[in-house]
Amino acid sequence: MPEGYASNLGKWAYMNKGKFIGMKSHDCHVLMETLIPIAFSHLHESIWKPIIEISLFFKDLCSEKLLESSLDKMEENIPVTTTKLEKIFPCGFFDVMEHLPIHLVQEARLGGLVQIRWMYLFEIFTKLYIFTNSFIY
């Protein structure tokens, strides 16, 4: 697990259903960046490599420092990675969200670092606000 990660993924795992249920957006982010590449490392290289590439894309995009040269490289590589993923997964897997990474590099250029625009803090605040206001005084 990444250093400083505090959540217990075991409480979201339901082994009888084979699913993760109730995960927060940060849990999904950590799962995508760190655990999926490890979990799928035993697959054939033609399947494993595009999954690693998309994970590294998001890891680089969410890094604390964005260089213009790395953004140019990511912008060149992400359409190729998306095409590789389209060859692996069935057509029904892809909707608008699977094509979103193509536009994220341009958004990073316009908006700056992702950490400034993350919704994790608002998600926690909203949960506390709703929990507090749900009581009748």
In this predicted structure, what is the pLDDT of residue 121?
66
Please tell me the pTM assigned to this model.
0.70
In this predicted structure, what is the pLDDT of residue 84?
92
Contact yes or no for 100/73 (Cβ under 8 A):
no
Query: Reduced to 3 states, what is the DSSP secondary structure of residue 15?
Result: coil
Give 8-19 pLDDT, tens digit per residue: 777 778 888 888
Residue 46 burial (C-beta neighbours within 10 Å; 0-12, 13-18, 19+): exposed
Pairing mode, if any, of strands 13-14 and 19-20? antiparallel
4 or 58, which is more confident:
58
In this predicted structure, what is the pLDDT of residue 100?
85
Radius of gyration, alpha carbons of the chain: 17
Residue 137 has pLDDT above 60, yes or no: no
Contact yes or no for 57/101 (Cβ under 8 A):
yes
Q: Which residue has the tokens 């606000």?
A: 129
Mean pLDDT of 85-102: 82
Q: At 110, which amino acid appears? A: L
Q: What are phi and psi of 20, to 5 degrees?
A: -100, 125
DSSP letter for 35, please. I
Give 33-90 pLDDT, tens digit per residue: 777 888 888 889 888 999 899 999 988 888 888 888 999 999 999 999 999 988 988 8
Residue 6 has pLDDT above 70, yes or no: no
- Nearest alpha carbon to residue 89 among 20, 40, 18: 40
CB atoms within 10 A of CB 11: 11
